[in-house]
Amino acid sequence: MSPSMPPNSQKRKIIIFSDFDGTIFMQDTGHILFDSFGCGAEERNKLDEQIKTGERSFRDVSEEMWGSLNVPFDDGFVVMEKSLEIDPGFREFHQYCIENGFPFNVISAGLKPVLRRVLDTFLGEKEASSIDIVANDAIIDGSSWKPVWRHDNELGHDKALSVNEARARAQLECLPDEMPLIVFIGDGVSDLAAAREADVLFARRGLRLEEYCLEHKIAYTPFDTFADIKREIEAISREDQHKTGGVGKPVRYNPRANMWRRISSKEAVPTLMAAATPSKEEKMFLWPETFTELKPQATIQEAEEPVTTAA
């Protein structure tokens, strides 16, 4: 294992955002609950199709799914705990972030009480307390579940807006010659709006987000486990000023987000960038069922190489 950099030794402030379902955990918390205590897998698939065709919004369908639940929180969690599997490299990666002072944030379209309970259970409350969860809230009254949406739009939670809010706050904490580096980790197309606002994007190999990045020539770095991400972040923190990655590979920077690195003073930084609005095609994939299924390896191998853009 490579030695960790001393805290605060890198010039750039690195802030990390990660999706939850299908990224930190291999399964989807909502799917487990809906299939076991709510509308069921068959009806959920029908509702997913309504999102994909554009018939209904993600928020509208999600509210129906969560509203279909008829289970107390603790009983539902028992099933989730038995069904969930954490990424094998996540604990070590998160400890690395703590040791090096890299803020780690979960950004999710799910419900904050569910995600917090899962993290507390799998990581321990002390370690999990360092993770900020940016997600929708919920009112859980007995066996009744109702989402409290973070944003008043058809997504319920606009991940791009949340990332840009964090970037603006981080910029205010930086010295005039410093720029925050925003890292985003995801697995599906519902992550795409937030991913476009990040400086460095990691997409889980073989899933829908990587496929989408290949199809649309979006710069990204593939990963199999968080151990891969740890190696890349170590390289970025060591060699960020040269803008090169580890093991002879260039880090794949997002040219749209690179505009932030060209700003030389706080006064030039807007307090809030306009959030990207997902296209109709992106909205087709806003529910995880579509992109958490592994794609045939041949599909990935035959696709063209991912775009690499020097910062």
Cα(184)–Cα(199) distance, integer angstroms: 8
Q: Which of 21, 48, 158, 191 is catalytic?
A: 21
Highest mean pLDDT among 10-19, 28-37, 238-247, 273-282: 28-37
pLDDT for 254 equals 57
- What are the chain's domains? 14-290 (3.40.50.1000)
The yes-or-no answer on residue 19 being catalytic is yes
If you average pLDDT over every residue of the chain, what do you get?
A: 79
pLDDT for 169 equals 86
pLDDT for 269 equals 35
Inter-residue contact 276 to 160 (CB < 8 Å)? yes
Cα(273)–Cα(276) distance, integer angstroms: 9
The percentage of residues in the chain with a pLDDT greater than 90, rounded to a whole number, is 50
**Which of the four pLDDT bands, split at 50, 70 and 90, describes residue 24?**
very high
Q: Which of 19, 87, 158, 240 is catalytic?
A: 19
The yes-or-no answer on residue 120 being catalytic is no
pLDDT for 8 equals 43
Cβ count near 175 (within 10 Å): 9
The pTM (predicted TM-score) of the whole model is 0.76
Instruction: Identify the CA nearest to 147 among candidates 117, 118, 111.
Output: 111
**Which of the four pLDDT bands, split at 50, 70 and 90, describes residue 197?**
confident
* Helical packing angle, 73-83 and 29-37, nearest 10°: 120
**Which of the four pLDDT bands, split at 50, 70 and 90, describes residue 242?**
low
Strands 14-18, 104-111: pairing is parallel
Tens digit of pLDDT for each residue in 138-193? 999 999 999 999 998 888 888 888 988 888 888 887 777 777 889 999 998 778 88
Cα(207)–Cα(63) distance, integer angstroms: 25
pLDDT for 65 equals 96
Counting runs of H as helices and runs of E as strands, what totals does the chain give?
A: 13, 7
Cα(235)–Cα(243) distance, integer angstroms: 9
Q: Is the dihedral of CA 35, 41, 46, 51 positive or negative?
A: positive
